[in-house]
Amino acid sequence: MIYSCKIEKGAVFLNGVKQPIGLSNSENWTKELYLELGLNYPKFYKMDDLSKMAILSFTILKDTVDFEKFGEDDVSLIFANSGSSIETDKKFLTSYSENESPSPSLFVYTLPNIMTGELAIFNKWFGENIFIINEKYSPELYLEQINFYFSKGAKACLCGWVENKNSEQDCTMFLMTNDGAKTTEKELLDIYNQ
């Protein structure tokens, strides 16, 4: 089975259906969504935008999937984007080049895989993680990696494309369970393009 969620400024899609959540196009859309979802996770406010989007998408996805059935080592995280942690990189660069005070709280988010770490912490998941930098969203790449992790024993793969680059902010997330069902590249492309 495949379950999906896509969030971006102004819109939320769950399993292909646009959700009736009123989001503005403002810079603060992740905070709006956090409040809208009634999440109570104070760490959220300390996170970079990549991690925020990942936690929000996951929270929405969680409503339609019984994650409790997976053990703490069962879920592999396969995440990717094209911009790495570029927006936090820029802020950290400014903190020392202009403000002469390199910020430790920014520095720790200058790695894209911190986001998968945040998801692991949020869920107490000890499974496998991989973060890939790719020029564009690639269904083929996900299917390849999912196949690798299923054959190594993962019961599910939580995959994501989380981008925060220039003015682009969006997160496409999908969960594939290891039950023999096949997913096509087209299906994965449709999730991204909605």
Shortest distance in whole angstroms from residue 52 CB to other proteins: 13
In the complex, the smallest distance separating the C-beta of residue 92 from other proteins, rounded to whole angstroms, is 7
Name residues whose C-beta falls within 8 Å of residue 150's C-beta, 6 or more positions apart in sequence.
157, 178
Write out the residues near other proteins by the rule CB under 8 A: 72-73, 77, 82-84, 86, 89-90, 92-93, 96, 100, 102-104, 107-108, 110-118, 120-121, 123-135, 141, 144, 147-148, 151-152
Distance from C-alpha of 158 to C-alpha of 3, rounded to nearest angstrom = 9
Compute the least distance from the CB of residue 125 to other proteins, in Å: 6
Q: How far apart are CA 52 and CA 115, in angstroms?
A: 8
Using the minimum distance from each CB to other proteins, give the nearer residue, 14 or 114.
114
Instruction: Name the residue nearer to other proteins (CB basis): 2 or 111.
Output: 111
Q: What does the H/E/C string look like for 100-133?
A: CCCCHHHHCCCCCCHHHHHHHHHHCCCCCEEEEE
Both structure tokens of 55: 């936690």
CB closer to other proteins, 86 vs 189: 86
**Residue among 19 and 95 whose Cβ is closer to other proteins:** 95
Residue 14 or 87 having the CB closest to other proteins? 87
Select 113 or 183, whichever has its Cβ closest to other proteins.
113
Retrieve residue 57's tokens.
């998408």
User: How far are the Cα atoms of 1, 164, 186 from residue 83, in angstroms, in the given order?
Assistant: 29, 7, 24
CB of residue 150 to other proteins, shortest distance in Å:
11
The residues that bridge with 159 in the sheet, in sequence order, are 78, 174
- CA atoms of 140 and 145, how far apart (whole Å): 9
* CB of 148 vs other proteins, minimal distance in Å: 4
Least distance from other proteins to the Cβ atom of residue 175, Å? 17
